[in-house]
Amino acid sequence: MFDTPDDRRYMESHEWTTTGDGPVRIGITDFAQDELGDVVFVELPDEGDELAKGEEFGVVESIKAVSDLYAPVSGTVTDVNEDLFDQPELVNDDPYGDGWMIEVDPSDADEFDDLLTPEEYEEQIE
């Protein structure tokens, strides 16, 4: 029922990340946006901020819920999706595409291995 692209890794707290050496993109899953309902506000870190794996990096708000965002991997924030400040609905419309949140230059490639595979994540949300 929910889209879970197989080219990324997931967290139990419903964030996704692309994988690889270069900057990776991070956002929330289709399941998460559906649970939240209409997203109305997104708070994101600044470019250049250092994130540790599992650390809070922002907040996503719908009309009646607030959810913290957790970093899937450690690294430096290299880009922030500023479109979300004016169009938070992109998170609902296209959670894996235009609704991405930050780009991070990962500092430890091994951390990806600890994340959920698409199959494992789908199992979790069933």
Partner 1 sequence: MYYDQARYGQNGEYEPLLSEKDSTTVEVGGAASSAGGDENAADGDGSPLPDHLTRDSLTLPELSEPELARHYTRLSQMNWGVESGPYPLGSCTMKYNPKFTEDAAGDPNAAVHPDRSEQSVQGTLEVLHGLQEYLGRVGGMDAVSLQPPAGAAGEFAGILVAKAYHETRGDDRTEVIIPSSAHGTNFASAAMAGYDVVELPSDEDGRVDLEALRAAVSDDTAALMLTNPNTVGLFERDIVEIAEIVHDAGGLLYYDGANLNALLGRARPGDMGFDIMHYNVHKTFATPHGGGGPGAGPVGVVEELAEFLPSPRVRETETDSLTEPGYELFEPERSIGKVHGFQGNWLVLIKAYAYIARLGDEGLADASAKAVLNANYLGSRIDYEIPYAPFHHEFAATAGEQDAADVAKRMLDYGVHPPTTKWPEFVPEAMLTEPTEIENRETLDDLAAAFNAAASEDDETLATAPNRTTARRIDQASAARDPRLSWHALESDGE
Partner 2 sequence: MTRERGRGSPFAPHTAAETAAMLDAVGVDDEEALFDIPDEVAFDGEFGIEPRGEAEIRAELARTFAKNDDLTEFLGRGHYAHYVPSLVDHLSLRSEFLTSYTQYQPEITQGFLQALFEYQSLLVELTGLPVANCSMYDAATALAEAARLAGRVRATTGARVLVPEPAFLRAGKRGVLDNYVDGTDLSVETYPMDDGNVDVEALSELVDDDAVMVYAENPTVRGTIEERIDEVAELAHEHDALFCLGSDVVALSLLREPASVGTDVVVGEAGVLGLPTSYGMGLGIFATREEFLRQVPGRLVGASEERVAPGAERNGDGSAAEASGRRVYTLTLQTREQHIRKERATSNICTNQAWVALRTAMHAMYLGPSGLVELAEDCVRRAADLAGRIDDIVGYQAPVHDRHHFREFAVRCDQPAAAIAEDLEGKGFAVHVVDEHLLQVCVTDANAAHADALVAAFEEVA
User: Which residues make up the interface to partner 1 (CB under 8 A)?
Assistant: 38, 40-41, 61, 63-64, 88-89
Distance of CA 34 to the CA centre of its chain: 14
By CB atoms closer than 10 A (0-12, 13-18, 19+), residue 86 is exposed
Residue 20 or 37 with smaller CB distance to partner 1 = 37
| Sequence-ordered alpha helix ranges (H) in 15-82 | 30-36
- Residue 88 interacting partner from partner 1, partner 2, none (CB closer than 5 to 8 Å by kind): partner 1
CA distance 102 to 81: 6
Map the footprint of partner 2 across residues 50-69, applying CB under 8 A.
61-66
Q: Binding to partner 2 by residue 48, rule CB under 8 A? A: no
Binding site for partner 2 (CB under 8 A): 40-41, 61-66
